[in-house]
Amino acid sequence: MEEKQHKRRVRYSGAYPKKFSEKYKELQPEKYADTVAHVIKKGGTPAGMHISICVKEILEFLKIQPGQTGLDATLGYGGHTREMLKCLKGQGHLYALDIDPIESEKTKARLLEAGFGPEILTVRLQNYADIDKVAEEAGGFDFVLADLGVSSMQIDNPERGFTFKADGPLDLRMNPLEGISAAERLRTIGQEELRGMLVENADEPYAEEIARTIVRKRKKKEPLETTFQLKGAIEEALSFLPEKDRREQVKKSCQRTFQALRIDVNHEFESLYAFLEKLPGCLRPGGRAAILTFHSGEDRLVKKSFKAFHKAGLYSEISEDVIRPSAEECLQNSRARSTKMRWAIRA
């Protein structure tokens, strides 16, 4: 019989691990609950985890009752899903969608372990743009939640390419098995189209300089295959800025450029537009929908759609102003600061 080799734990320098791969305690929350609690208490998000935002505000608005049928259009880590399932108290059904095959399987397993099986929860690897297909099967929804944007698990893992803070492949796809990566997109996109993408998807003030630098580097056959290589191109594009302002501006432009590319390769605006157009037809009379957005482009689309359908009489009521996370929540979770929530009620 072959002797099983002992696997040594990950070694790291200093008191706390820096790299994602070294954070083995945070990546096993069920085994190291104290470490996870410590990270959250300090205002951080444990590696491989996503802290749900505006949970109290969402549940107060949705008013979920046992026996109802609902949809979590963006499953993610499953934090919102779990709380909505608790409100059903074992009666009714919740559908949950996600296009990330890596994270959705993990979340489905966690929720099953927590006691939420197929009798009350259906998880689908499906884009929320197809809400009409799910609604047809479900017979319409009493409540719908869509938490837009990217999850912390995706941001934190450098292998997914969502962050410029660690080096990794420039991918940025929610589903790495479909479509083209951000690196592939940058190989062919023209300067004017890239400039327009940066403005439209992220309101990037230095879109012209960044687009020009990226296309110039491509022509010189300088690689843009990794997150650090793209970050380097942005640093080069903004080298004309005064030194005292440059570091902060590079950081902000990196955030916006990565956001713009992520939206582009995942066709996020197209999916959101399709979802919003189909949403009224998927809600039962009196059905409630809440949407969390994380940047102005998303919020504009939601606001415009809600207003148009309210005017057309399909929504009896919509939120006049955005609902934001409390100051206390933002202090505990820095990623909550840019969140805006809007809601609508079906006529």
CATH code for position 96: 3.40.50.150
Last residue of a domain, one of 265, 285, 303: 265
Q: Which domain does 189 fall in, by range? A: 175-265
pLDDT tens, residue by residue, 308-318: 999 999 999 99
Whether 136 and 197 map to the same domain: the answer is no
Domain presence at residue 130: yes
Write down the pLDDT at residue 24.
47
- Whether the CB-CB separation of 52 and 336 falls below 8 Å is answered with no
Mention every residue, 6+ apart, whose C-beta is less than 8 A from residue 131: 71, 73, 97, 144, 275, 278, 279, 282
pLDDT confidence band for 26 (50 / 70 / 90): very low
> What average pLDDT is seen over the chain?
88
Average pLDDT over residues 256-274: 95
User: Regarding predicted confidence, which is higher, 338 or 210?
Assistant: 210
Whether 326 and 340 map to the same domain: the answer is yes
First to last CA, the chain: 69
Average pLDDT over residues 127-134: 97
As a whole number of angstroms, the distance between CA 158 and CA 165 comes to 8
As a whole number of angstroms, the distance between CA 303 and CA 300 comes to 5
pLDDT confidence band for 332 (50 / 70 / 90): confident
Helix (H) or strand (E) holding 97: strand 93-98
Whether 133 and 208 map to the same domain: the answer is no
pLDDT confidence band for 180 (50 / 70 / 90): very high
The token pair that represents 233 in the structure block: 């191109």
**Number of domains the chain is built from:** 2
The answer to whether residue 118 scores a pLDDT higher than 70 is: yes
pLDDT confidence band for 22 (50 / 70 / 90): low
From residue 107, alpha-carbon distances to 23, 24, 170, 279 in Å are 19, 18, 25, 25
Write down the pLDDT at residue 1.
46
Domain presence at residue 16: no
Write down the pLDDT at residue 161.
84
Domain presence at residue 141: yes
The token pair that represents 277 in the structure block: 């157009």
Whether 134 and 218 map to the same domain: the answer is no
The answer to whether residue 21 scores a pLDDT higher than 60 is: no
Q: Quote the percentage of the chain above a pLDDT of 70.
A: 86
Least confident of 24-33, 98-107, 247-256: 24-33
- Whether the CB-CB separation of 292 and 341 falls below 8 Å is answered with yes
Average pLDDT over residues 109-114: 93
E-assigned strands of 164-295? Answer: 283-293
Cβ burial, residue 50 (10 Å; 0-12/13-18/19+)? buried
Q: Residue 283 forms beta bridges with which residues? A: 141
Domain presence at residue 41: no
Domain presence at residue 297: yes
Average pLDDT over residues 88-107: 94
Q: Quote the percentage of the chain above a pLDDT of 90.
A: 70
CA 179, 182, 185, 190 torsion-angle sign:
positive
Q: Count the Cβ atoms, other than its own, within 10 Å of residue 10.
A: 13
Last residue of a domain, one of 235, 265, 295: 265
State the Cα torsion 72-73-76-79 to the nearest 10°. Answer: -20
Mention every residue, 6+ apart, whose C-beta is less than 8 A from residue 212: 191, 237
